[in-house]
Structure 1
Amino acid sequence: MALLHGTDYCDKFSPEIFLKDFWGYLDDQNIFTISNAYIFLNDERLTGHRLLDFGCGPSLSGMITTPERFSDIVMADLAPSNLDIIRRWMDGEKINFNWDHIFRFTAELAGAKDVSEWTERKIGHLKTFVKKLVTCDVTKELPLGPDYVEAFDVVFTSFCLATAAKSIAEYKQFLKHVASLLPSGGHLVMRDTLNLTAYTVHNKKFHFLKLSMVDVKDALCNAQFEVLECKSENFSMPLCEPPELSVFVLLARKA
C-alpha cells in the first residue's frame, strides 16, 4: 500500500493524534529540537520583524520559541484542519491539547524568573502578532500564492519539506521555492530528520523522504543558502520507520 502524501494531509491526517503522540511530552528529541530552535531563532544575527512558520502543521512549538521582537508573524500549512487547530487556540476556544509543558520549558530556556508571567506574556504576544494563518503549497513556485509579494526576514520550517518531496530533485526544487520568500541576507531556521522513510499517525503511515546530511547541505547550497550552524543528534522514535534516526536543526543565511 502506498504511503499517504500530499493532499492526504487535508483529509486523512489527524492533528489531535499527531499533537498527542509527537508533542504531548518532553522526550529527549523534543528537548533537542525546542532548545536549538530557541537558540537559533534568538540568534543576534537574525534581523527584521517579519517571520514565517512554513508548514507549521497544528503545532505552536516553533512559535513559542520566537523572540518578542517579531511583530509580523504568518503561519502557513497545506491542511486547513491543521490551521483550524491553531486558529481555535488563538481565539481562546478549547482544543484537545495543552501547550503548558512547552511554554514552561521555553520559559526556563529564557531564564524567566516567573514562569507563569512569562507564559502569559508569550501567549499575548502570539495572539497579537500572529497576523495571518494561510494555506501554502511548497510544490508551487509561489508557495504562498501571488498575494505575498513582500519578503520575510526569517523563515522557520519544521519537518515539512521531506514530507512533501518524493525525490532529492523535488526536495531541492521545493527548498528553492521556500528560499524565494526570503531576500538576500534573510535567514532560514530549519529542523528535520535524516534516514526516515515513514511515520505513523493514528495507524496511518505517511511518506517521508530519506535524506542524508549531504543531501540537505547540497540542497541548501543549490538554493543559495550558506549554513551558519547545524546541530544534530540521534534518537529512537517508535512511531517512525526506521525507529533509529537522526534529527538536525540548522541556521542558514540566503546569499
Structure 2
Amino acid sequence: MMSSSSYKRYAFHGCNSRQHLDQYLSDTSGIAFEEDILKFPIENLAKTFTVGHIKGDVLIDLSKGAMVHHLFAACEFFEHIIVLKVSDQCIMELKRWLDTRTGAFSWEHATKHHAEIGGKSAQLKEKEEKVRAAAQHVVKCNLEKENTTHPIVLPPADCIISAWLLEAICKDQDDFIRYLRKFSGLLKPGGHLILIGTLGLSFITVGTDRYHGFTYDEDFVRKALVGAGFVIDDCKVKERTAVSDLTDYKALIFILAHKKK
C-alpha cells in the first residue's frame, strides 16, 4: 500500500478535473457515489434555500474541482455567483460547461434530480441556463494571500458555499481554522457559510494518483466554526453508502452557519 507521505496534495499538484468528475459524479450506470456526493448536497441545498431566508446579491463558491451541481439550488436566490478555483485546470473544465463547448461534462442527471425535488422536471434546460447566467465570474484564487484574488477585490458575499475543498487543501487543524477565518473575511456580517465535506477521509484517488485528505470529525468542525466566529444553524450527517476503494471517507457532513454580526 502507498505510504500516506507519498500522497499528492491537491493545492500543489492539482488533479485531472475531468477524471475527478468522471469517477465521482458522472451518470454512468451504477456509479458508486451517486447517493453520497451527488444527491446528498443537492437535496440539502434545495431544502436550505427554499426556506427563503438565505438570499442576496453575491454568492461565492469555494469548492473542489469543476463541480457545479451544488449551485443549481443557489442560482434562484442570488443575482451573482462568483466561483473561486485554486487551479487553472479546474477553471478550464468549468468554463467548458459554462460556455456550452463541445465535449463539456454533462450535468443533465444532476439537473434532473434537482428539478424533480422541486416538481419541475420539465424545466431542465432553464435550470442550467440560470446557473450559467449567474456564474459569470470564475476567478483563480490563492488562499495564502491576504487578498485571495489579488489584484481583484471581491465584494462582500451574502453567502459562501464550500464543498469538499478544506479536506483537500488542509494539512492539519490549524490550516482548517485559518481557512475558515479567510472565508469569514469574505462574508458580510450575518452572512451564511455552507460547508459540505467528508468525515474520516485520509485519501482520495483520481486516475492513477492518490491525494492526501485531512481527517476530521463532526465535533472538530463544529468547534472550529465557533472558534472562527460562526454560529451553527443546522448540521446533517449521512453515513457512507458508497462501495468503492477510490476513497476512504466514513460519512458526509452538511453544515449551515452564519457569521456573527
Aligned pairs (5 A) from 1:75-94: 75-94=83-102
Asked whether 1:223 is paired with 2:223, we answer no
Alignment of 1:3-22 (within 5 A): 3-5=7-9, 6-9=11-14, 13-22=15-24
Q: 1:79 to 1:42 in 2, by over 3 A?
A: farther
Q: Trace 1:84-163 onto structure 2 (pairs within 5 A).
A: 84-112=92-120, 115-116=121-122, 118-163=123-168
Matched, 1:208 2:216: no
CA drift of 1:7 comes to 1.9
Task: Name the CA distance, whole Å, in 2 between partners of 1:231 and 1:14.
Answer: 30
2:256 equivalent in structure 1: 251
Give the CA deviation at 1:236: 4.0
Match of 1:184, SS state, is: strand
Q: Deviations over 1:26-72 (max 9, x none)?
A: 72212222211222233322131211111352111111222423111
Q: 1:181 to 1:198 in 2, by over 3 A?
A: same
Report the Cα distance in structure 2 between the residues aligned to 1:220 and 1:141, rounded to whole angstroms.
Answer: 20
Shift in Å at residue 95 of structure 1? 2.5
Change (3 A) 1:251 1:219: same
User: Contact 2:58/2:79 (CA < 8 Å) preserved in 1?
Assistant: yes
Whole-angstrom distance in 1 between the partners of 2:248 and 2:137: 36
Letter in 1 for 2:68: L
Structure 2: how far apart are the matches of 1:40 and 1:142? Answer: 29
Q: Residue 182 of structure 1 is aligned with which of 165, 184, 187?
A: 187
Residue 242 (1) aligns with residue 241 (2): no
> Which structure 2 segments of 5+ residues have no match?
28-32
Q: Which amino acid aligns with 1:18?
A: H
Over 3 Å counting, the alpha-carbon distance change for 1:69 and 1:209 in structure 2 is same
- Which residue number in structure 2 is paired with residue 68 of structure 1? 76
Task: Write the distance in 2 (CA, Å) between the matches of 1:241 and 1:58.
Answer: 18
Whole-Å Cα distance in 2 between the matches of residues 208 and 37 of structure 1? 24
1:114-165 deviation digits (Å, cap 9, x = unpaired): x24x222122212222121001123333323352242010100100011111
Q: Structure 1: any 5+ residue segments left out of the alignment?
A: none
Counterpart residue identity of residue 60, structure 1: V
Secondary structure of residue in 1 paired with 2:188 = coil
Aligned length: 248
Alignment RMSD (CA, Å)? 1.7
Opposite residue 109 of structure 2, the aligned amino acid is H
Assess if the C-alpha contact under 8 Å between 2:20 and 2:65 holds in 1.
Answer: no
Contact 1:138 1:178 in 2 (8 A): no
Q: What letter corresponds to residue 258 of structure 2 in structure 1?
A: R
What TM-score results when the alignment is normalised by the length of structure 1? 0.91
Counterpart Cα distance in 1 of 2:179 and 2:22: 28
Identity of counterpart residues, as a percentage? 21
1:31 aligned residue: 39
Q: 2:30 aligns to what? A: none
Deviates more, 1:67-76 or 1:157-166: 67-76
